[in-house]
Every structure is written in structure tokens, then in C-alpha cells.
Amino acid sequence: MLWAACEDSPDPYVYTPPPDLSSDSPAPDSLTDCDRNTLDCVTSLGEYLAASERLAGMQADSFVLAYQICSVYPPKDFVDQGFDTPGNSEDPVDVAIAHAEETFTPASQQAGYEGCLSAFEGLP
């Protein structure tokens, strides 16, 4: 019965929309008090770093996306997945360059490179 799940609400025939999840996640109180294993934390850290680099718009978005991805995987995983680095180098700089070139448009590659390298370096 479709309406059975709603019988506990005050008016079971009133549609209640789902919560709006599009708002930004709250930033951590400090840069060190969040769990780097959560997307909210990594996103907040990436946004903080992008803002400190004075990036905005597409550049900031590219920085944060690269920061998120490179926070999850070590350089070796990128090489194992076929990212083209000189001599299959696992050097973080080489991998960040390869990731940026293979992932972002030319206009966003520098921001992508900086975001990825920041993550590999453990910043902030």
C-alpha cells in the first residue's frame, strides 16, 4: 500500500519534499578537527586552499575536484591506472601534471595540478 509509509505523519496525504542537499557543507571549526576520510572534510580543506590561492569559479572548482581525487589515491594508483607519466614515474609532481592534463581542459589544468599536488603533499 503506497500511503502506508506516510500514515505516521500528521497528514498522510500531504507530500513532503525531501530535504535540500544542495547547500554547502559546513566548514570544519578548524582545519585539523575534521576526518579526512569524509568528503565534507576534504571538500572544506580544498575550498580553503583554493580561496587562499585566490581562485574562483571554474578554477576553484577544478582545484577542489583535483584535491578531492588526489586525497583519496596515492600517486602509485594513478600510474597503475594508466596515467601517462615520464617513465611511469610515481613522483607526485609528475603524477599531478599527468592527472591535470588528462582530466581538465587547458584553462583549468594549472588549478587541477595545484589541487592535486596540494593533496599529495598533505596540505593543509
| Contact call for residues 117 and 92 (beta carbons, < 8 A) | yes
Burial 75-88 (b: 16+ CB within 10 A, else e): beebbeeebebeee
Q: What pLDDT score was predicted for residue 36?
A: 82
Q: Which residue has the higher pLDDT, 20 or 34?
A: 34
In this model, does residue 21 exceed pLDDT 60?
Answer: no
SS3 content of the chain, % helix, strand, coil (to 5): 55, 0, 45
In this model, does residue 1 exceed pLDDT 50?
Answer: no
Residues whose CB is less than 8 angstroms from the CB of residue 93 and which lie 6 or more positions away in sequence, other chains included: 117
Average pLDDT on 97-109 reads: 96
| Gap between the Cα atoms of 6 and 21, Å rounded | 22
List pLDDT tens digits, range 42-67.
999 999 999 999 999 999 999 999 99
pTM for the whole structure: 0.74
